[in-house]
């Protein structure tokens, strides 16, 4: 066998073994130009280690977009996600990061459109009846106004990045029901909040599919690591208050990152 043939055989063996073992090839080999859009679940609020340039957007070096970029060395990487972002503020304030050369986009958005923070505040501070009523009002908005808001954002993303693979990520369920918590919200409140998360993810998944985008749920990854599980990857009510109900660094690395990676 010639040296050239031997090298070819070795290369084929290594590539085959990588495929069998599920080893990720560097994104730079595919020429990825990656842009991370979205709200606090993409910027990494709750994970700590925020970059000074990001200010109130609180972009974390431990957020899944930053972790994926560090591991895969894309040809370019723009981290535009920002705490507090809504579908409309993503469209108006983040899409300048996209262009016709963009090949990969990730995005989380929708929770702030439904008043996520207000819902959780009502549930923590007010009665069970008020909590459930506020959750049901949010679900009504999810079914009525959220689809159009998502469509507008997704259409704007596609217009700016016509060749990109777009991965839309969902939100985790917050609570393990019948779990280890002995104080705080009632089981009825926890169940209502989990149901709202399921409805939200269903709406997002459908609109993403209609736009031709990939949807990656994080529910499976977070199962067994919800609040009241004894091994939570989410903050409960905490200080600073903006960390409450957001993924910890482990939630980003072991929850969001694998969910994104499987859809790239």
Would you call 225 a catalytic residue per the annotation?
A: no
- Encoded tokens for 107: 């995005």
Helix axes 116-125, 128-144, angle to 10 degrees: 160
3-state secondary structure of 194: helix
Instruction: Given the residues 40, 43, 60, 106, select the one marked as catalytic.
Output: 40
Query: Which residue, among 48, 58, 104, 100, has the nearest Cα to 78 in the 3D structure?
Result: 104
Annotated catalytic, 246?
A: yes
Which three-class secondary structure string do you get for 99-160?
A: CCCCCEEEEECCCHHHCHHHHHHHHHHCCHHHHHHHHHHHHHHHHHCHHHHHHHHHHHHHHH
> CA distances (Å), 151 to each of 39, 48, 65, 148, in order?
17, 32, 23, 5
32, 225, 235, 246: the catalytic one is 246
Interatomic CA distance for residues 125 and 129, integer angstroms:
12
Distance between CA 215 and CA 36 in Å, rounded? 15
Catalytic residues: 40, 246
């Amino acid at each position: 066998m010639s040296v050239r043939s031997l090298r070819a055989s070795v290369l084929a063996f290594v590539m085959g073994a990588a495929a069998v073992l599920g080893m990720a090839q560097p994104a730079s080999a595919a020429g990825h130009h990656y842009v991370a859009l979205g709200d606090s679940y993409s910027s990494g609020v709750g994970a700590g280690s925020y970059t000074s340039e990001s200010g109130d957007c609180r972009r974390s070096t431990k957020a899944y977009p930053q972790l994926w970029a560090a591991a895969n060395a894309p040809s370019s990487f723009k981290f535009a996600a920002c705490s507090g972002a809504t579908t409309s503020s993503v469209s108006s304030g983040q899409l300048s990061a996209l262009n016709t050369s963009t090949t990969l986009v990730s995005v989380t958005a929708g929770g702030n459109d439904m008043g996520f923070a207000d819902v959780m505040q009502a549930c923590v501070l007010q009665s069970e009846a008020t909590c459930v009523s506020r959750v049901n009002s949010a679900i009504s908005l999810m079914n009525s106004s959220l689809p159009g808001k998502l469509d507008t954002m997704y259409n704007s993303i596609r217009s700016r990045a016509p060749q990109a693979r777009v991965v839309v990520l969902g939100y985790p369920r917050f609570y393990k029901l019948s779990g280890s918590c002995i104080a705080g919200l009632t089981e009825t409140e926890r169940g209502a909040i989990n149901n709202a998360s399921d409805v939200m993810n269903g709406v997002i998944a459908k609109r993403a599919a209609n736009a031709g985008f990939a949807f990656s749920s994080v529910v499976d990854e977070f199962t067994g690591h919800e609040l009241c599980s004894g091994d939570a990857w989410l903050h409960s009510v905490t200080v600073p208050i903006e960390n409450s109900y957001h993924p910890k660094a482990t939630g980003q690395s072991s929850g969001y990152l694998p969910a994104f990676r499987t859809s790239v």
